[in-house]
Structure 1
Amino acid sequence: MVALLEPFIDTICICTLTGLVVLASGAWNTKTDNQFQTTDMQILSGIYDDGNSADVEKLSNHLRGEQFLDLYNGKLTVENGVITTAGISVIHARSLAANIRFTSGKEPFTGELEVLAGKLSNMASMTVRGESLIHSAPLTTFAFSRSILKGFGPYIVTFSLLLFAFSTAISWSYYGDRAVTYLFGPKYVIYYRLVFVAAFFIASFTDTTIIWSLSYVAIVLMAVPNLIGILILRKEVKQNVKEYWLTFGKQYPEEKISRKMLKRFDK
């Protein structure tokens, strides 16, 4: 039952409402102060201004992968948490970042950082904050905080994410459980569950951009064999659907849907 309800709760209810709030609030194209994810950061050689139409076009082409801009390589000098290296631009979450601050522990960082192909290295103990566009849960939280809910928005998002994560974890665990049982037998289910739980633990402290990217790839890899299977078994699927509605129509003849389906299939 939970596995059946999860797509409804997740896709139709939560995602639709969240999307409407994000669009209506204007949070999707508003820069706000946030903690940067290192995998979302990219340092470019050259100064770009998102108020300049020519620069905007260059940045758009770069982000779409049509015409790449030069990436910065070398030392990035930071004094009291502020970048002092000239002639660079920082991209975060597919937008030009501003008011960037580096901290190590709780103190502003001073020193040099190595940049290779536009990516910062040795950032284990470093925190970067600044103004940029945001995505994922921070975007949802920001959008709800700009609604009539104001300060209650973050709490609603937290509670909704809890429901989303719980329903998704149960349903996806069940799907994998049944697949492993069918492919390898019941005795191997315990190993699948151990891997599933371990993956949840690792994901809890891993960069969210990496996790979402992996999930997108995994969903595609899951969808391809399913679509091929549906195509091969299309006749069987059609027959099973027909048998289901014929049985349902005979058991509940007073239902409107029963009359409709009996008329369609009982030929």
Structure 2
Amino acid sequence: MNFHALLTDINAIVWGPITLCLLVGTGLYLTIRLKLLQIFQLPFALSLLFKPATGKGDLSSFAALCTALSATIGTGNIVGVATAIKIGGPGALFWMWLAAFFGMATKYAECMLAVKYRTTDAKGNIAGGPMYYIEQGLGLKWLAKIFAVFGVGVAFFGIGTFAQVNAISDAMTIAFNVPTWVTAIVLTTMVASVTLGGVKRIANVAQKLVPTMALGYVLACIWILFSFSEQIVPALELVVHSAFTPISAAGGFLGATVAQAIQIGIARGVFSNESGLGSAPIAAAAAKTKEPVEQGLVSMTGTFFDTILICTMTGLVLIITGVWNGDTAGAAMTSAAFSTGGSAIVGQYIVTIPLVCFAFTTILGWHYYGERCWYYLTHKRLGDQGIKVYQLTFLGLIAVGAFIQLDLIWMLADTVNGLMAIPNLIAIIGLRHVIMTETHHYFERKKKQFSQVKLAN
């Protein structure tokens, strides 16, 4: 058995019924217990984005969200959606929606816990994330270490390096005929110049790039949707229908079962928005806030922006232009969709520029996540030297990532993502009473404050 076949078998186990039920089931449970918080509290959560920073921390709530979004808005929104629809058919988009809807509740819970159980490291920097709420909340240090090991694995071999670097390299080669080795050198240099400056420099770059490129990409999608407006309703009907019905082969599309649509849709949804993965809590823990619930709500909006908004835009563009059943795949498939609504050159630019920026910021965000997991594992034995080892290893993987086979990259990324999610979801379930109590007390306080203000007026 070769390595690819072995990885395929492992991936099938990791993303089998148990993990899928754990992911969706945790989100469903939290959605019910939190009384559809992701719907009724979404307007309030969006308003908190503009609230001034208060309390201890390294970043404002908005900066923490942008840092988290920098790691989530990436190739998953462009290449990942295209891959999901290519393998699972349009129905995969429906299962991405489902994963995102329940995932908003999961994202709220994990980021709220991150702020509640955060601590301060030897240098005075905020240290938080699943490692800390697993250790302090559950008292299971061994499980915290397992999570941290998988977190480093995702940073090194999953979302953090190979998938992003390969996407950038392919996009630059297709659009601008830039040799792979040139992209590898330039990208490694750029990543080093930002990441070596720490989380504040990463956050500064994320705050500038993420909102700008996300808005630009969404506007480009709206332009295509407007041009094919008569196809939007049929496309939505096709998404819902094919989510529960096998899709036959057509054109370059090989056909898909409902099981394939569910598996690839949920897996790519998690790859895109990272709800339940345990990554966003690491950034959320650094937020300057006194209220764990408020940061949980702010972080929850990340899944809304990432999957409900941007992934949906990409998916509908792929479906209404008909490229989903063509011969192209990945970034080339998305580029072909935008080319349908204009010139090929415009289509290339619309896909290539956001893809490169999104993937670059994802690398930055995951460098930080992996570094925090590495620090948790090694700081007592290696201290600052351990961080240097991590940084050099990460940069080395960036340099070679462009030369690795694409299908192997996605298989490896999905596998380590699933492994990272499992201990985090176990922790969320184990701390469910803390989540409910903290949430209930916060909104009770808000209700009393509102009543007092009303009486005073």
**TM-score of the aligned structures, taking structure 2 as reference length:** 0.30
Max Rg structure: 1
**TM-score of the aligned structures, taking structure 1 as reference length:** 0.49
- Name the structure with the higher helix share: 2
